């Protein structure tokens, strides 16, 4: 016990120490609730100054009677403050996510000190303030005003301006996505954006310099915020003039009197004003040149100055000339574009031809009009001897419905009211009246002066003749869709008619001509009445001719139509008509068949030559050499064949040359020869007829074949000797043997006689076999 006593004195101290440590472990003041080593706050950039942006999650009570004390680390960039005796962070400076008007991110520190026990312990907690984006910036255009120059000839849909751009300073996203539009207002429908998200302007409506030279529109750029922010800008558009207008005369018509005297070189006084034309394209203002629009005889008397439109006499006129007024058509065209021009009329007359009475300057008018002239076209301007005002009226007198085709306006211009048709009516005649207004007359009755208003009309008439000119608006038409002619005569003389083709035209004034087209069209002609005439047989190559009939009218421009034509000729037509071709087929391939016939003829000659050669060769090969037999000259008697002795008859066996099986039948020949085998009968009667031979045994057949082969070799030897002019003795008679059949499968032995001549004709076993069969 004494041993452990010193250690027992340490037990109370150890207990107190553990108790202090436990108490210290339970004191979590100044620590973050929930753990962690730093505090983070997300604050919108549009948070107002003085607002609480967050509450610190620090354990402990910071009130006046609390157990902790907190303070904020001081800094020049401090944007927040901590409330006394609270955990609230208050914004004291504005924030800006873009970093323009304030910081985009704040880092600061909070120091927490304990009160009472463990007062010496303090903690520093980092605080991170992150600024979030808000829609606080409007899109800003790069230019406040945009300027565009557009030509009036610009096509609708063309791009007129690119590069319009508005920038939004907000962070990428909906707050910085810009959408473009055109504000409603005057001319807002002229231009438009190709895409609401792209600053490209396109032309939506045609513009005209003469009616609109300059205008402005307002455009807007706004973001996608809620609510959206926007900015407006102005687009200023100037229209540039283009050459889209014709020149214009100051008056629709002019007139002038011939001077007295009418001498060459004197200028005409044109009324109501000098004849001038200007370019309606004011921005271009092209130079104008003047010229006569026609070249009739009446134009030869006057000279028109091409620069200023003045008119002079080209020659001196007598009093009996130009009794009736003449109307001259003047053309004014642009120097840089001849397609831009204007027309007017100049009426020239003598001064005494005018009367105080209302009358036409010309009693009869004649005008030619194409039948395809558009409706409402002015075809004639009628001139009178007085200025046309509100008292002048023109009235058309109806004739056979002519008023339905033409009308006259208050200026005396004849206008087309309906489409013309040359085929329906070629000419139109009508009368046009001209009248003036009312006249006031004074009359007396019973000495009382009264004012009476009556209609005192002055009028005149003029006849108008309109000639309709045909326009080629119809194609020629054949009466058939296809023509086929069959010629039955083999000998057809030149000039014969083989058929008829007919074509008509809907245009009454057009004349139709028909032609044949094709490789063999020269062989035929088409008469103007449509007859197809045979003309040239040498142009034919076949008995079936395919051509094309083309009908062409005389209109301007001409029209044409075509149909197929087929002509069938007899098979011997080409030979009978001397076309130079002896072979013809229905499909026109005569030349090809001629070439094939020549090739077949050459091949036939070659085959015939080979056949003749083989035939002759085989004859030489199968014909044996003649045999020379020395024997007495036989005598011919009724009973048979005898030698010198009349009592001893001699019989001979005829042998036929075997027929070559390879030779043609026409080349086969049977040549009888005298057999070299002789048998002598010594005063014995003729033997009785022998029965049909029986085939010998195989051994006897072989021996007989060898014997025959040896016998034949001897005959050949003797034949060869006779060819060499050598005489050989006749062979010895052999005993009579019955006929045996030779077998070609068992050849005999070749003779070994050394006395055989060098030239020996060798016969095959098949030849020997053919002797008997």
Q: Rounded to an integer, what distance in angstroms lies between the CA atom of residue 12 and that of residue 167?
A: 78
Q: Contact 640/651 with Cβ under 8 angstroms? A: yes
Helix (H, G, I), strand (E, B) or coil at 434: strand
Across 10-27, average pLDDT: 53
- Sheet of 524-526: strand order equals 497-500, 531-534, 524-526
- CA torsion angle 203 208 214 219 (round to 10): -20
Q: Residue 604: what pLDDT?
A: 92
Q: Which residues pair with 148 in a beta bridge?
A: 237
* For residue 306, pLDDT beyond 70: yes
Confidence of residue 548 (pLDDT cuts 50, 70, 90): very high
Confidence of residue 274 (pLDDT cuts 50, 70, 90): very high
Across 380-399, average pLDDT: 81
Q: Contact 705/748 with Cβ under 8 angstroms? A: yes
Q: Which two tokens stand for residue 202?
A: 């396109």
pLDDT digits (tens, 9 = 90+) for 1-16: 444 454 445 565 555 4
Q: Contact 507/423 with Cβ under 8 angstroms? A: yes
Dmax (CA) for the chain in angstroms is 196
pLDDT digits (tens, 9 = 90+) for 50-104: 888 888 888 888 888 888 888 888 776 778 888 878 888 888 888 888 777 788 8
Across 755-761, average pLDDT: 47
Q: Which two tokens stand for residue 552?
A: 């062409």
DSSP string across 104-145 = SEEEEEEEEEE-STTTT-EEEEEEEEEEEP-S----EES-SE
* For residue 539, pLDDT beyond 60: yes
Q: Which two tokens stand for residue 164?
A: 């319009």
Q: Which two tokens stand for residue 665?
A: 């039948």
Q: Which residues pair with 150 in a beta bridge?
A: 239
- Mean of the per-residue pLDDT values of the chain: 75
Q: Rounded to an integer, what distance in angstroms lies between the CA atom of residue 213 and that of residue 590?
A: 79
Q: Rounded to an integer, what distance in angstroms lies between the CA atom of residue 719 and that of residue 659?
A: 21
**What is the sign, positive or negative, of the torsion defined by CA atoms of 468, 472, 474, 478?**
positive
* For residue 197, pLDDT beyond 80: yes
Q: Which residues pair with 366 in a beta bridge?
A: 465
Q: Contact 107/69 with Cβ under 8 angstroms? A: no
Cβ neighbour number for residue 676 with a 10 Å cutoff:
19
Give the residue, 264 or 715, on which the prediction is more confident: 264
The pTM score is: 0.38
């Amino acid at each position: 016990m004494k041993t452990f006593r010193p250690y027992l004195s340490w037990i109370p101290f150890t207990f107190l120490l553990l108790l202090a440590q436990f108490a210290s472990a339970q004191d979590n003041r100044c620590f973050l609730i929930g753990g962690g080593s730093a505090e983070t706050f997300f604050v919108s950039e549009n948070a107002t100054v003085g607002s609480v942006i967050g509450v610190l999650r620090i354990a402990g009570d910071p009130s006046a009677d609390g157990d902790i004390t907190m303070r904020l680390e001081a800094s020049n960039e401090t944007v927040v403050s901590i409330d006394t005796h609270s955990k609230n962070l208050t914004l004291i400076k504005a924030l800006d996510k873009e970093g323009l008007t304030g910081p985009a991110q704040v880092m600061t520190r909070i120091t927490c000190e304990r009160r009472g026990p463990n007062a010496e312990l303090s903690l520093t907690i980092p605080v991170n303030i992150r600024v979030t984006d808000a829609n606080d910036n409007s899109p800003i255009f790069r230019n406040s005003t945009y300027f565009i120059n557009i030509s009036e000839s610009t096509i609708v849909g063309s791009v007129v301006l690119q590069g319009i751009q508005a920038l939004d300073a907000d962070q990428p996203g909906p707050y910085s996505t810009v959408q473009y539009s055109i504000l409603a207002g005057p001319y807002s429908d002229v231009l438009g954006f190709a895409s609401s998200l792209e600053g490209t302007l396109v032309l939506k409506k045609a513009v005209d310099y003469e009616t609109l030279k300059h205008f402005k529109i307002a455009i807007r750029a706004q973001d996608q915020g809620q609510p959206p922010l926007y900015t407006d800008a102005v687009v200023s558009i100037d229209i540039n003039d283009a050459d889209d207008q014709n020149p214009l005369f100051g008056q629709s018509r002019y007139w002038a009197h011939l001077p007295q005297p009418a001498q060459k070189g004197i200028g005409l006084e044109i009324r109501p004003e000098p004849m001038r034309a200007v370019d309606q394209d004011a921005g271009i203002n092209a130079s104008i040149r003047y010229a006569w629009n026609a070249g009739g005889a009446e134009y030869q008397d006057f000279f028109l100055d091409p620069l200023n439109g003045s008119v002079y006499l080209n020659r001196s006129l007598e009093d009996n000339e130009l009794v009736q007024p003449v109307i001259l058509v003047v053309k004014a065209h642009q120097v840089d574009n001849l397609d831009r021009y204007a027309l007017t009329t100049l009426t020239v007359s003598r001064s005494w031809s005018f009367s105080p009475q209302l009358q036409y300057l010309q009693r009869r008018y004649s005008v030619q009009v194409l039948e395809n002239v558009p409706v409402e076209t002015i075809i004639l301007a009628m001139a009178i001897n007085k200025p046309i005002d509100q008292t002048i009226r023109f009235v058309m007198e109806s004739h056979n419905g002519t008023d339905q085709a033409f009308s006259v306006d208050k200026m005396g211009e004849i206008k087309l009211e309906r489409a013309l048709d040359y085929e329906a009516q070629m000419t139109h005649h009508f009368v046009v009246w001209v009248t003036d207004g009312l006249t006031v007359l004074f009359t007396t009755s019973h000495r009382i002066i009264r004012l009476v208003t009556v209609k005192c009309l002055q009028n005149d008439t003029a006849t108008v003749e309109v000639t309709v000119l045909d326009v080629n608006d119809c194609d020629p038409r054949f009466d058939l869709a296809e023509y086929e002619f069959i010629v039955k005569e083999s000998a057809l003389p030149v000039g014969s008619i083989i058929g008829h083709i007919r074509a008509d035209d809907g245009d009454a004034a057009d004349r139709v001509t028909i032609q044949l087209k094709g490789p063999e069209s020269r062989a035929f002609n088409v008469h103007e009445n449509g007859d197809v005439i045979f003309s040239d047989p040498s142009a034919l190559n076949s008995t079936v001719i395919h051509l094309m009939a083309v009908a062409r009218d005389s209109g301007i421009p001409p029209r044409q139509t075509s149909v197929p034509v087929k002509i069938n000729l007899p098979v011997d037509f080409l030979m009978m008509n001397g076309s130079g071709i002896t072979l013809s087929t229905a499909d026109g391939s005569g030349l090809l068949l001629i070439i094939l016939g020549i090739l077949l003829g050459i091949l036939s000659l070659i085959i015939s030559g080979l056949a003749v050669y083989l035939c002759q060769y085989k004859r030489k090969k199968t014909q044996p050499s003649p045999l020379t037999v020395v024997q007495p000259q036989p005598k011919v008697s009724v009973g048979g064949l005898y030698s010198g002795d009349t009592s001893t008859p001699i019989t001979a066996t005829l042998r036929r040359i075997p027929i070559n099986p390879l030779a043609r039948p026409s080349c086969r020949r049977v040549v009888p020869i005298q057999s070299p085998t002789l048998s002598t009968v010594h005063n014995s009667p003729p033997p009785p007829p022998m029965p049909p031979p029986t085939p010998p045994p195989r051994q006897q057949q072989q021996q007989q074949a060898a014997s025959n082969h040896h016998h034949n070799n001897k005959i050949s030897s003797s034949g060869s000797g006779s060819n060499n002019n050598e005489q050989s003795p006749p062979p010895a008679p052999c005993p009579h043997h019955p006929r045996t059949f030779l077998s070609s499968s068992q050849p005999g032995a070749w003779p070994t006689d050394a006395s055989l001549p060098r030239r020996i004709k060798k016969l095959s076993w098949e030849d020997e076999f053919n002797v008997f069969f």
